[in-house]
Amino acid sequence: MPENFKLSALLLALLAVLFCCFFEFTKHNPVLSPVNPFADDPYDAIGSFGIQAAAVLAALSLLRAFWPYATDNISEKQKALLVRTQMMAVLAVGITLAGDAIAMARHTRLWLPSRGGHLLFELIVGMALLTAAAGIFVYRAIPDIRLQKSTNASGKAAIVSIAAILVLPLYPESLRNRLAGELFAVLVGDILLFIPLSFLAMALVPDQGEIDFLDPLRFAWAKLREHQWKLILFVGMLMGLILALAELREANGWPHLTGHIALVLGVFIALETAGLLLGYAVLRKPMGLS
Q: Per-residue pLDDT for the chain (290 aa), expressed as one digit of tens each?
A: 778 889 999 999 999 999 999 999 999 899 999 999 999 999 999 999 999 999 999 999 999 999 887 666 777 788 888 999 999 999 999 999 999 999 999 999 999 999 999 999 999 999 999 999 999 999 887 766 666 666 678 889 999 999 999 999 999 998 888 888 989 999 999 999 999 999 999 998 887 666 666 777 777 777 777 788 999 999 999 998 888 877 776 544 445 555 577 777 888 899 999 999 999 999 998 988 87
Task: Provide the domain limits for residue 13.
Answer: 3-211
Q: Give domain status of residue 265, yes or no.
A: no
**Is 254 part of any domain?**
no
Query: What string of H, E and C letters represents the secondary structure of 100-151?
Result: HHHHHHHCHHHHCCCHHHHHHHHHHHHHHHHHHHHHHHHHCCHHHCCCCCCC
pTM beyond cutoff 0.85: yes
Give a yes or no: residue 227 inside a domain: no
| Residue 176 and residue 182 in contact, taking contact as beta carbons nearer than 8 Å | yes
Partners of residue 250 on adjacent β-strands: 253
- Are the CB atoms for 246 and 269 separated by under 8 Å? no
How many structural domains is the chain composed of? Answer: 1
| Range list of H helices, the chain | 3-28, 43-66, 76-106, 108-111, 115-139, 153-170, 179-204, 216-222, 228-248, 259-283
